[in-house]
Amino acid sequence: MFVSEALKKKGLPFGGEPSGTFIFPSVNYCPDGMLAGAYLLKLLDGRPLKDVVRSLPTYPSVRDSFSFDPSDRKKVKERLAEEMSSIEGGLSTVDGFRVDLGHGWILVRLSGTEPKVRLTAEARNQRDLEEITELARVKVRRALG
């Protein structure tokens, strides 16, 4: 699902993509870099950006992708739903299949532009990241057959 469509459907206040696309539905459903910059300036409140960035926690993360035959897209999506819903945790299907695990999270979704399954995972530490990433890779591989 595209970001603007998901925002409209779910009534969400903000949407974004790792590419730097930021959408503020209260103003417009199109990406708006100028508005994002204005909000950033407001957030800084006179503080140097580097100080604000330093104050934020950082967590290890992984991004991966898996190719599949485009004619299998529907079947892959159904299998991903099955595999990801079997993981204990809070499952969200707003944009793919996201599972919050407490010590980290996994997002598995079909690419909107390529016949690929995208995997993103983040955890509080490297050991937990490796554990949840392997779990997600197993689930994706099962879904792909």
Write out the residue range of the structural domain in which residue 129 sits: 61-144
Global confidence as pTM: 0.79
Instruction: Mark which of 55, 79, 95 sits at the end of a domain.
Output: 55
**Helix and strand counts by DSSP (H, E) for the chain:** 5, 7
Residues 36 and 73 in one domain: no
User: What was the pLDDT predicted at 1?
Assistant: 46
Would you say residue 38 has pLDDT above 90?
yes
Distance CA 116, CA 22 (A): 23
User: How confident is residue 4, by pLDDT bands cut at 50, 70 and 90?
Assistant: confident
Residues 117 and 46 in one domain: no
Please give the average per-residue pLDDT across 132-141, as a whole number: 97
Please give the average per-residue pLDDT across 64-82, as a whole number: 97
Q: What is the pLDDT of residues 109-121, one digit of tens each?
A: 999 889 999 999 9
Number of domains in the chain: 2
